Structure 1
Amino acid sequence: MSTAAPRNFEPKQPVQLAPPKDDPIEKDYLEKCDANVPALPGTNTEYPTYVAIKGTVFEVTGNPAYAAGGQYHVFAGKDASRALATSSLKPEDARPDWSDLGDKEKGVLNDWYTFFSKRYNIVGQVAGATNL
């Protein structure tokens, strides 16, 4: 599967999404939501799997592509805006800064944001994010 921007934004199967949340999500918590961290201390509850785009946090839990070993796991637990904008799967590109990119890459990033927003619940905003 390619990391190129999606052309069809509508999911193949209808998705029932919860109303978007704007709760602040601290970066250190987001990093734990990468499908690698064991259960929360003192509980049997595992961390969800999150991917952030332009400071918005999407819950992708249950999609094996973002799970450990999945083809898009590199995006899990971080703001992967730059990697998505540049169609990169390199870990060093999975970072929030994207404002220096060209119009084409910014358009690709906006397409990914739209794609995610039609498939995954928005669970919050990265606290202190400046890449909105």
Structure 2
Amino acid sequence: MLGLPIEGNSRKLCQQYVADVVLPVKTTNYHRHGWTFGQYSDDTQQSREMYLTVLQGRGRMDAQLYALRTALLFQPGAYRVMGYGKTSATAMQAIWAGAHYTEAGVKSGNGNGSAMRSACLGVLLSGKWMPKSS
């Protein structure tokens, strides 16, 4: 709910954001570092692509399809990817250039994106959000 405008901030700053912006509903004119209230990050965008990939596969994860869907987010003319890091951009550019998804990752990166994007799997694996088989 708090979104990209406060990502990476201390607990104290997050609490202040809730007190100053969210609770008094001053969300429509709030901007921080160019991010507006409700703006989501690349983790949310890529999580959505994972969710859609599993839905398309009727409960199966097609890693190659997911890699391509995610790489598409980073292409010129695609809608803007918000708040991504160098590791994500480098991997997605490599996939788009033809690298296999198992070889596209940046081995020296310190990112936590994989863990951040995996939250949707719990929802999917619960079976409550999967379409009924016909």
TM more than 0.5? no
> Which is richer in helix?
2
Greater fraction strand: 1
TM-score, normalised relative to structure 1:
0.30
Structure index of larger Rg: 2
